[in-house]
Amino acid sequence: MTVAIYLRLSGEDNDGVSEFESISNQRNLLLHHIHNMPDFFGANVAEFCDDGWSGKNFDRPAVKELLEQAKRGEIQCIMVKDLSRFGRDYITVGNYITRVFPFLNVRFIAVNDHFDSSRREDIYSLGTSFRALIYDMYSRDASKKVKTAKQRLAKRGVNINPVAPFGYMKDPKDRHRLIPDPKTADVVRKIFSLVADGNSIETTARILNCEGIAPPSRSKKDTSSEHANWCNEHWNTGTIYTILRDRQYIGCFVYGKRVRPQIGAHQQLTADFEDRIVVEDCHEPLVSKGLFEAVQERLGKQKHEKHVMRNDPLSKKVICGVCGYAIVPRGQKERYYLCQRPRTVPGLGCYGEKILESDILAAVSEAILQQARLAADLAKIAVQQTEMREKQAKELRQKLQECRAEQEILSAEITKLYEGYVDGRLTKPVYSSQKAVLMERLEQARDAEKDLSGQSAVCDSGDSEFIDKYRELADTEVLTKERIGDLLERVTVFPGGRLEIKLRFLDGNSAAM
């Protein structure tokens, strides 16, 4: 048997964490509990820890790995300090306790809440549901209070943004104050001057790249910023446009550029300008207000191609195989794809010819129909094997029951043996010798159960998702755009016009053309 202990401490808790809530305290509490439970005598203990992760969602690395192992039958029990450590989302936690874990035959224990799913009354107890609801309400209330407190500070002009904008740095004497960065401030001034002198954003990006000036992401990486987790080596029009529109460069503090759609969500959306908090004269400006407004006027006059909303199965899925950027479609009457990066970064080597949207759709359709014909053939073979698979599955389930029954008998014998040693009826050498024999048999039974579980999963798997998604298209001549969008993952364009098409639900395979 493997018992998994799950430990979690959120980023908010870390600021003023008590020893009672610490990771080490949780670990010690759970290990002590395991060692004092006869059910877990001789069990393996696996630890999963999410330090600094919110409990409002289950997008946490350790908990995802824990659940994956539980689904594979590698974990028989999960133990936490209390329900809130596992999660603060009442609905999701309740679903795991009452449905998922019982289905997986996984025992769940919350020590301080005196909850044990092996006791049927605990699963449906009102106390458990009420406590989980309180955790959920507490988490939401705490998140709202933190958000309100930050907004109050922002309206007073206190710079609580975690990162200084390009061209500035945090004042070493006051982390809530911005000062010009001597290495990058002149770059910002140069950008505003170039655009004010009549250069387009695209031309400005090309000038900066030709002069070898480092863009914001590369500057962060060069200075080992803790927030620089990726690096774009070149300037692009989007980066320059963002700088030109940022009122922080005229001395304003701007808060709330990004917002989360709901409490606990990792996804962030760009907030509308009118929804942001802007406080003037909070730090030294890099450009004058007159220059800033002149640039805004020029930006308003520049013509931008209108992108009409349409049912587009290729949206954000056509990628340049050289620079890695998504290629935006152009043209109104006859849509085409052409990577624009070489216009701002000379010498990149991206494919320089137009590829018609209709040609890409035709290639994708052919790739899908090829897979559909393959899926239809595999489905016929699967039907022939169904009866044999069901017979094998029945035999394996019987063997699994016998294997688990044997483990229960062996565990009971080990417990009885231990009691005999404690009572003095067995000497230590006799106890150690007999225990070693039983533990070896128990380990063999566990290995047999794991092997049988794997075989059973294969027998019970039935048709693959690939067959389900593709076989019905085998006799189709023309695919709808909706179906293409559902099955297409991406199209990569390489020099020479070669297309690499990757489809979804192919069990790790891809179609290349």
Q: Is the CB of residue 59 less than 8 Å from the CB of residue 266? A: yes
Which of 280, 313, 321, 274 is CA-nearest to residue 500?
321
Its domain, for residue 285, covers 168-301
Question: Based on the domain organization, do 88 and 218 belong to the same domain?
Answer: no
Same domain, 105 and 180: no
85, with CB counted inside 10 A (0-12, 13-18, 19+), is: buried
| Phi then psi dihedrals of residue 437, to 5 deg | -65, -45
- Do 181 and 222 lie in one domain? The reply is yes
Give the residues across from 278 on adjacent strands.
254
The H-assigned helical ranges of 211-356 are 216-222, 237-244, 289-301
What pLDDT score was predicted for residue 286?
A: 96
Which of 338-376 are b and which e, b meaning 16 or more Cβ less than 10 Å from the residue's Cβ? bbbbbebbeebebbeeebebeebbebbbebbbebbebbb
Nearest to 237 by CA among 291, 199, 276: 199
Angstrom distance (rounded) from CA 31 to CA 50: 17
Q: What is the CATH number of the domain that holds 13?
A: 3.40.50.1390
Q: Which domain CATH number covers 266?
A: 3.90.1750.20
Number of domains in the chain: 3
Q: Dig out the tokens for 313 from the structure.
A: 């199965």
| pLDDT in single tens digits along all 513 residues of the chain | 899 999 998 755 444 444 446 888 999 999 999 988 888 888 899 999 998 888 888 989 999 999 999 998 899 999 999 888 998 877 788 888 888 898 889 999 999 888 888 887 776 664 555 555 556 666 666 677 777 888 888 888 888 888 899 999 999 999 889 999 999 999 999 999 999 999 999 999 999 999 999 999 776 555 544 444 444 678 989 899 999 999 999 999 988 877 665 555 566 677 777 778 888 999 999 999 999 999 999 888 765 554 555 668 998 999 999 999 899 999 888 999 999 889 898 888 899 899 999 999 999 999 999 999 988 888 887 776 666 767 777 787 788 788 888 888 888 888 888 788 878 888 888 888 888 888 888 788 778 877 776 666 555 555 577 888 888 888 888 888 889 999 999 999 999 999 999 998 886 544 444
Both 32 and 144 in one domain: the answer is yes
DSSP state for residue 98 in the 8-state scheme = I
pLDDT score for 513: 47
DSSP H or E run through 142: helix 126-155
DSSP 8-state class, residue 223: T
Closest residue by Cα to residue 477 from 340, 373, 341: 373
DSSP string computed for 153-165? HHHTT----SSPP
- How many other CB atoms sit within 10 Å of the CB of residue 80? 25
Asked which of 248, 266, 301 is the last residue of a domain, the reply is: 301
pTM over 0.75: no
Dihedral sign computed on CA atoms, order 34, 39, 44, 49: negative
Residues 120 and 259 occupy one common structural domain: no
Instruction: Examine the domain organization and report whether 396 and 449 are in the same domain.
Output: yes
**Does residue 344 contact residue 234 with C-beta atoms inside 8 Å?**
yes
Which of 301, 335, 360 delimits the end of a domain?
301
Helical ranges in 16-86 per DSSP H: 23-35, 61-71, 83-86
Element (H, E) at 171: strand 168-171
Regarding whether 198 and 130 lie in a shared domain, the answer is: no
Residue 6 is classified by DSSP as E
Q: Is residue 79 part of a domain?
A: yes
Amino acid making up residue 340: Q
- Give pLDDT, residue 310: 60
- Which sign, positive or negative, has the C-alpha torsion 292, 298, 302, 307? positive
pLDDT value of residue 155: 87
